[in-house]
Chain A
Amino acid sequence: MKKTIFLLALSFSGAVLAGPVVHTAGQAADGPQATLAAIQAHFHQTIPAVQGDAFVDGALNFNQGAREYNQFWENRFKDDFDQPDEYRKAFADGKAMWEQPFADGKHFADCFPNGGKGVAAHYPKVDAGGAVVTFEKALNQCRAAHHEKPLAYGNMKTMGALSLYARQLSDGARIAIEVKTAAEQAAFERGKMLYYTRRGQLGMACASCHTQQAGRTLRTEELSPVIGQAAHFPVFRPNKVTAQLKVVTLQKRYEGCQKNVKVAKPYKAGSPQLNDLEFFHTYLSNGLPLHAGAFRK
C-alpha cells in the first residue's frame, strides 16, 4: 500500500521526467489561458491560414492532396454501398457494447447524463483524488460500478470500438475542459510538463513537432498543430500495405508517437502520465467541435 502511494506520488510529481524541456511557444507561459494564448499567437505567426474550426483538420490544411485523399475515404464512410467493412464493423461492435445490458440490467447510458449524448466534450475531468479521468476511464468506471471487468485501454477491438461509438454521441459538441481548481491546475501542469519534455533516443518533445514545427513537412507528411488534434479521435488509419483500416484512440496514437521518437519504455494507453497529457492536450482544443471516427493517414 505504501509502495502504491509512493508510486502514485512519483507519477504525479512530474519529477520522473528528467529530460530537458523545449522552450517553444507556451512553455514559459503561466497557467492554462496564457499557455493557450501563446500557442495561438505562435500559430497565427507561423500558420496564419489555419483559423477557427479548421484546426480540427490538422495536417490536411497544409496539403491539398492529403485533403482529397481524406475526402475520398470519408466519402466512402458515408456511402452505404461502398462503406469499408472495418468501418462498419467497428461502429457495429461499439454500438453492440454500448447497448448490451450489464448483468444488473443497467446500461452505459445510465452512467452518463443525457444518455451519454454530448458528454465527451467535458472529458477528461479531474477526480476528487486529483487523478485525471478520461472518457475511456469513465467508461471503465461505469463497467466497474456495474460489476463488469474493465476493458484494456490499448485494445482497439474492444475499447477502441466502444470509444468510437460512445464519442460519436457527442459529435458536434464543442470541447469544454475546465481548469479551475487546484487539482485541475496541477493535472494541467503535469500534462504540460510531459508535452514540452524531450524523450526517447531521438530526444524530441511533443512540442518539437506539434508546436515548434507545426505546418512543416516531415519527409512526406505535414506536421499537425497541437490545437485541434484532440477533437477527431478515435480515428481510422489505413495499413500502409493493405489499406485495411484500424481504429486508433488518442492514447494509442500517443503510444505511436513515443515509438517514432524511440522511447525505450513508452507510457501505455490508460497510464496516469498519458491521462495527464490528454487533459492538457484536450484543453488546448477548447471550443472546437468533436468528430469521432475521422480518417487520418
Chain B
Amino acid sequence: MYSASDLRKGLKISIDKEPYIITDFAFSKPGKGQALYRCRLRNMITGNGFERTFRSNDKFEKASLEERTMQFLYAQGDEFHFMDTQNYEQLVVSREQLADTTNFLMDNMEVAVLLFDGRPIGITPPTFVELTVTKADPWVKGDTSGTDTKPVTVETGYELQVPPFIEEGEKIQIDTRTGDYVTRVKS
C-alpha cells in the first residue's frame, strides 16, 4: 500500500483494478488547511488521462506490474504472439496494446513485455533496433534542393526521415524511444 505522501511523478498505482501512472504531481496546503495532492493520472491500458486531488489519509494499491523478457514469434492479423524464452510459455498481445511499437517489431526480437495482474498490457522494444530500408528515392549527387533529409520506408512498414545518402537495401539504426534515425549500419 502507498499513502498520499508517497505520491510523486512516475509512481504506478492501481485504482478500481486498473493500473495508472502519475504523469504530473503538485503538493498544496492552504494555511491551516489540509494537505492536498493534485495528480494527473494516465490509465496504462487505455491511455486515458484525468486529474484527481487526494488527501493525506488516502491509501493506494500498488499496481502489480511485472516485466518479462520474451521473444516475438509472429503476428496473425491483429494478434501478436510472444514466447518466454525461459519456460516457453506463450502469450498474445493485441495490436492496440502494442500501439507504435509495432513499427520496430521483427521476428525473433527480444522485448520486455509488461504484465498487469498477469495480463499483457504493452511491450518495450530494445532501445536501438536495426532495420533494412525497403523503399528510398535514389540519392542524386550534387542535389542542390537544400533538403538535408528524405523519407524512407523500412521492412516493418515504418516511415521516417533519414540523411539523403541512405539507399534502398541498407540497414539503419533507429532509436525506438523517439522513432528517429541514429546511424547507417555498415554491412
The answer on A and B forming one complex is no
Q: Which B residues fall within an 8 A CB radius of A?
A: none
A residues with CB within 8 A of B? none
